[in-house]
Amino acid sequence: MAQPIEIFRPIGATVTLAAATSSGSVAITKIGFANEDEQVRIANTGSVIVYIALGDSGVTAAVASGIPILPNTAEMFHITTAQTHLAGITASGSATLYITAGYGV
């Protein structure tokens, strides 16, 4: 039997990342249970693509290998307990990412 889709529920404060042509990173605010995976909503309010990577405190993003977040869009990702940080970079210009952890899609 299929399980119902759970609507996204934020569980932590939204954090921001000012993405530019050098990789920068930010800690994802996670307040769920330590052994549970979560989802993260990433909104790019800028006018350029931001390439992201998820990982631990040492994560960096690269244009060639990052996941593109298109301008003026929001994407949802499943993150593991080991993915505590998000890194972002642009090929040119700058953009702001808003990152919110939660449960559901």
DSSP 78-94: EE-TT--EEEEEESSS-
pLDDT tens, N- to C-terminus, the chain (105 residues): 677 888 999 988 999 999 999 999 999 987 766 667 889 999 999 999 999 999 999 999 999 999 999 999 999 999 998 999 999 999 999 999 999 999 888
Is 1 among the domain residues? no
Is 4 among the domain residues? no
Residue whose pair of structure tokens reads 């939660």 in the numeric block: 102
User: How many folded domains does the chain comprise?
Assistant: 1
Entry field: residues in the chain? 105
To the question of pTM greater than 0.75 for the whole model, the response is yes
Is 2 among the domain residues? no
Contact between residue 42 and residue 70 where contact means Cβ atoms under 8 Å apart: no
CATH of residue 57's domain is: 2.60.120.1030
Is 32 among the domain residues? yes
